[in-house]
């Protein structure tokens, strides 16, 4: 194994790590957008029919994907 192939492997591993972090950030953004939409809907309607526990359960379900 050459010195260069070890460096290439490290770059590939770092690239995979960066891609994984990007995927995680995108998933978090989807979750944030969902919560924001629920809050906006509730604010615009005045009240929501969902209980505090239902909203919390829905948020946890979304987080656990």
Distances in whole angstroms, Cα of residue 44 to Cα of each of 33, 37, 38, 39: 16, 10, 10, 8
Cβ neighbors of 65 (< 8 A, separation 6 or more) are 27
The range of the structural domain enclosing residue 11 comes to 3-63
Instruction: Say yes or no to pLDDT of 65 above 90.
Output: no
Number of domains in the chain: 1
Residues in the chain: 65
Query: What's the pTM value of the predicted model, to 2 decimals?
Result: 0.54
pLDDT exceeds cutoff 60 at 38: yes
Percent of the chain with pLDDT over 70: 92
pLDDT > 90 fraction of the chain, expressed in percent and rounded: 42
pLDDT in tens, 13-27: 999 999 999 999 999
Q: What is the pLDDT of residue 21?
A: 97
């Amino acid at each position: 194994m050459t010195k260069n192939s070890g460096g290439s492997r490290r770059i590939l591993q770092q690239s995979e790590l960066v891609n994984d972090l990007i995927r995680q950030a995108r998933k978090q953004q989807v979750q944030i957008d969902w919560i924001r939409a629920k809050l906006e809907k509730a604010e615009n309607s005045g009240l929501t029919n969902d209980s505090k526990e239902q909203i919390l359960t829905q948020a946890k379900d979304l987080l656990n994907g």
